[in-house]
Amino acid sequence: MKQTSDHQTPQLLAGKHALVTGGRRGIGAAVTRQLLAYGAKVTTLSRSSPNQSKDAPGEHRELQHAFADVGDSAAVMKAFDDARSRFGPIDILVN
């Protein structure tokens, strides 16, 4: 099992891409932090900008943010396309 050098968290999700809806606040932000800790690349999907939430995960090289209202299917499809363009296929969806 691959380990990180600084805090020995197993990198069980290394190479996986997760998309977390609502990943900028509350439970979604906590899930995002855990996925990053386990080595996943994470895209958060939300309606608000990253600066609007005190719970938001900090900057991370394996983290990107997409913005769309889930009620707008065209905007959601674009957000998914944008997510895949940087981190590849989405392996995990947390909604």
Question: pLDDT at residue 83 above 80?
Answer: yes
Question: pLDDT at residue 42 above 80?
Answer: yes
pLDDT score for 41:
96
Residue type (1 letter), 70: V
Structure tokens at 79: 């957000």
Tens digit of pLDDT for each residue in 9-37? 789 999 999 999 998 889 999 999 999 99
Q: pTM of the entire structure? A: 0.79
pLDDT score for 10:
83
Residue among 24, 44, 27 at smallest CA distance from 92? 44
